[in-house]
C-alpha cells in the first residue's frame, strides 16, 4: 500500500500526555491567579492571552498527535476507516457550528469548538470502529 | 462482492493470521473481508488470489446487486 504521512505509533502517548497536562492548567486559569488581572487586558502578549494560547496549543497539538498517529498495522482498511471517521468529524463539526451560529449569540465559542470538536469526534469514532472490529475478531476466534 | 477466502484457507490450511502476514495487512482486515464487511482494493485482492495460486475470479465474485 502507498504510504501516507502519519506520526509514529508512540506519538499517541505523547499526545494524550499533552491533553492530560492541559486540563489542570486550564483549571488553574479558570479558578486561580489569572482570573483577576485577566479581565480587560487587550494586549496580545498579556498574561491571559499567552496562557490561553499555551493551553490551547497543548490541547490542539495533543489531539492532533493522537488523531494522526500510525496504528500498529497500518493497512488499507484502517485507512478507509480513518477517512470515513474524518468525513463524519467534518459533518458533526459543521452541524454544530451552523446550529450554534444560528442559535447562540456568542462568537467567542467558535474557536473553542473548532479547536477540539473535529479532532475529538474523529478520535472517538475511529477508535470505536476499531474496537468493534477487534470485538468481532475475538467473537469469531 | 462475495469471496471464498474462508474455503480456500481451509483447503490450504492457512490461518487468518498467516494470510494476513503474507499479504501485509492486519488479521482484522482478512476477517472483515471474509465476513463481507470490507471490499479489498484490487491490489490486495490480487495478492490474496496469488497466495492461493488461483485466478482472481475464482476467489472473488460479483453479487447480483453489484
Contacts of B28 in chain A (CB under 8 A): 77, 130, 133-134, 137
Under 8 Å between Cβ of A75 and A3: no
A23 lies in the same domain as A85? no
A76 lies in the same domain as A66? no
Contacts of A73 in chain B (CB under 8 A): 25-26
Mark yes or no for CB contact B29/A77 under 8 Å: yes
Looking at A19, A37, A70, which one is the last position of a domain?
A70
A121 lies in the same domain as A87? yes
Under 8 Å between Cβ of B35 and A137: no
A53 lies in the same domain as A115? no
Domain extents in chain B: 2-56
**pLDDT tens-digit readout, A47-89:** 677 777 788 888 899 999 999 999 888 889 999 999 999 999 9
CATH 1.10.260.40 is right for the domain spanning B2-56:
yes
Looking at A70, A93, A125, which one is the last position of a domain?
A70
**pLDDT tens-digit readout, B6-18:** 999 999 999 999 9
Under 8 Å between Cβ of B54 and B26: no
**pLDDT tens-digit readout, B27-48:** 999 999 999 889 999 999 999 9
Distance from CA of B12 to the nearest CA of A (A): 19
* Domain boundaries, position A53: 1-70
ipTM of the complex: 0.85
Looking at A70, A88, A109, which one is the last position of a domain?
A70
As to burial, measured by CB atoms within 10 angstroms (0-12 exposed, 13-18 middle, 19+ buried), residue A60 is middle
**pLDDT tens-digit readout, A5-50:** 889 999 999 999 998 888 777 777 666 655 455 555 555 566 677 7
Q: What is the pLDDT of residue A4?
A: 77
C-alpha cell recorded at residue A91: 459533518
Distance from CA of A133 to the nearest CA of B (A): 6
Q: What is the pLDDT of residue A37?
A: 53
A3 lies in the same domain as A40? yes
Under 8 Å between Cβ of B30 and B20: yes
**Could you tell me which residue, B34 or A108, shows the higher pLDDT?**
B34
Q: Number of structural domains, chain A? A: 2
Mark yes or no for CB contact B31/A137 under 8 Å: yes
C-alpha cell recorded at residue A138: 475475538
Q: How far apart are CA A18 and CA A32, in angstroms?
A: 21
Mark yes or no for CB contact B35/A75 under 8 Å: no
Amino acid at each position: 500500500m502507498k504510504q501516507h504521512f502519519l506520526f509514529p505509533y508512540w506519538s499517541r502517548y505523547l499526545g494524550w500526555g499533552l491533553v492530560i497536562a492541559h486540563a489542570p492548567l486550564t483549571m488553574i486559569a479558570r479558578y486561580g491567579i489569572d482570573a483577576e488581572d485577566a479581565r480587560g487586558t487587550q494586549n496580545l502578549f498579556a498574561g491571559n492571552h499567552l496562557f490561553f494560547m499555551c493551553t490551547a496549543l497543548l490541547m490542539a497539538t495533543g489531539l492532533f498527535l493522537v488523531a494522526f498517529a500510525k496504528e500498529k498495522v497500518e493497512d488499507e482498511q484502517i485507512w478507509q476507516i480513518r477517512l470515513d471517521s474524518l468525513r463524519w468529524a467534518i459533518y458533526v463539526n459543521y452541524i454544530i457550528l451552523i446550529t450554534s451560529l444560528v442559535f447562540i449569540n456568542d462568537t467567542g465559542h467558535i474557536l473553542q469548538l473548532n479547536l477540539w470538536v473535529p479532532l475529538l469526534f474523529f478520535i472517538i469514532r475511529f477508535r470505536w470502529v476499531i474496537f468493534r472490529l477487534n470485538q468481532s475478531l475475538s467473537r469469531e476466534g | 462482492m462475495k469471496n471464498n477466502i474462508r474455503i480456500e484457507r481451509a483447503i490450504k490450511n492457512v490461518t487468518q493470521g498467516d494470510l494476513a502476514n503474507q499479504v501485509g495487512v492486519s488479521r482484522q482486515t482478512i476477517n472483515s473481508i471474509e465476513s463481507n464487511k470490507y471490499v479489498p482494493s484490487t491490489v490486495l485482492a490480487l495478492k490474496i488470489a496469488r497466495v492461493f495460486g488461483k485466478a482472481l475470479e475464482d476467489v472473488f465474485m460479483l453479487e447480483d446487486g453489484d
